Amino acid sequence: MYILAVNLFGSLADIMSRAYGPALAISGMIGTLMALFVIQDKPYKVLGLFVTRKFKRAEHNHKYAILIPARNEETVIGNLINSIKKQDYPQDLITIFVVADNCTDNTAQIAREKGAICYEHHNPDERTKGFALKYLFEQIQRDYGITSFEGYFIFDSDNLLKKDYISRMNDSFDAGEKIITSYRATKNFSENWIASTYALHWLRSIRTRHRARSFLHLATNIQGTGFLFASEIVKDGWKYTSLTEDRALTADCVVEGYEISYNDEAIFYDEQPVSLKVALRQRLRWSKGHLQAFAESGWGLFKNIFIDPHTQRYDDDKWYNYTWRTIRHRFMSFDTFAQLLPKNIINIFRWIIVYLILYPFFCSQFGLDNIRILYNSTWLAHVITRIFGDITVSLPAGAETYVLTILIELWVRIYYRIGLYFFKTLEAVYLFIIENKRMPKISIWKKILYCFTWPTFDIIGRYTQYVALFKKVEWKPIPHKSEITIDDISQD
């Protein structure tokens, strides 16, 4: 029996070791492609440090509808509507719509008492935010007509708006922008470390995504709430009902050739989860929605990189004007495709197949020769190798080497991730410095703690993507309990 097992292992090792070379080459080519899809990220980060798009004050005030999907939000819905009522924008040009979605509390009653038009949606089979918005647009079309409003804002019930929020967004809309997102601040930043990771994430998005793309007149991405779009985008109704309707909307708009801009002066406040259980549930939904959006819109974006049917050629167009517009549209499609591409999943499969499955068999046949176990590209590894030297491992061919190689590969990956974790803390330091004037007052000790907990945000995102690939995920509401008002924030 033992001899049979040895012979079977030898035969399997021979087959797998032969496959290692071609698999390594294919993995290398895929890795090169993955690198191409992030090549624009570093220039965005540098630009985001220095510039953002500025908008001159609007010459015209436009008519807007404000849409608030809400499920059991009686604690916070009134505070949001109050902050809308306190805007310095003409109130006769603002209509507030609330959709009380499968509510079992007093959300609808409070919304009506505060002056909003409220529709109640009861359908247990339609429980995502996207379905609530689809129903709300159907009611608006029936009672008012979608095009009776020039633009639509979407907010979550826990949001609060700075006094000049709508005026600043109107500046962008009056400048001709069709989709605009805004500055997402956090009203419970210092409540605990979980809330702080979300708060830092939104600030990172502003600095590394929104500012540069808006400055270059490209397409940034919509992030769930705090955005405005022209009525022409939903003239046929709202069709985005997946777990992450914002990603689907972003992808479709880019396919159609729309820029997605950002206004750095329009500030709203958002409540972040403080429970790890709730945060994990939300991040799993985001990850599943990310995969759904890629499945639904990835091909359209990829196709647009090479074939552009949406950029119009005008009669008086100079050749270089049309060429510039089509290049910009193709690049926006490439850029958005790169954001949707599930790179973490592709890379983990590359690592598992090549380094955790095939490579150990290869080493069992040919042995290990001077494998470096303390060196990698992280700063931590550079420091450790300077202290302890460049430790290498060599092993002869054999079944024992197969097992040891698996352990070494696991160690190398964990060691690299540890180094990356500490490097990521510097990102939080950068955000605390560069966004200091817009942050609430936080003690230096909490800032130090939050710098070290910040990397967990990306770790959770990575592993929820792995789980989301195999797990069925349902939309569940995020509880909001903060009673902070816009007046409380203004006094601070």
Question: How many residues appear in the chain?
Answer: 492
- Going by pLDDT thresholds of 50, 70 and 90, the confidence category of residue 187 is very high
- DSSP letter for each residue of 43-85: HHHHHHHH-----PPPSS---EEEEEEESS-TTTHHHHHHHHH
> Mean pLDDT score of the chain, rounded to an integer?
91
77-81, 351-355, 388-392: lowest mean pLDDT where?
Answer: 388-392
Nearest to 200 by CA among 299, 272, 136: 272
In this model, does residue 450 exceed pLDDT 80? yes
Tokens 């193709």 sit on residue: 330
In this model, does residue 85 exceed pLDDT 70? yes
- Burial label for 275, CB within 10 Å (0-12, 13-18, 19+), is middle
Element (H, E) at 491: helix 486-491
Nearest to 395 by CA among 435, 360, 355: 360
Pairing of strands 179-186, 261-270: parallel
Q: What Å distances lie between residue 163 and 16, 266, 268, 391, CA to CA?
A: 65, 9, 9, 60
User: Mind listing the pLDDT tens digit for each residue in 232-281?
Assistant: 999 999 999 888 888 889 999 998 889 999 999 999 999 999 999 999 99
User: Mind listing the pLDDT tens digit for each residue in 106-161?
Assistant: 999 999 999 999 999 999 888 889 999 999 999 999 999 999 999 999 999 999 99
- Going by pLDDT thresholds of 50, 70 and 90, the confidence category of residue 5 is low
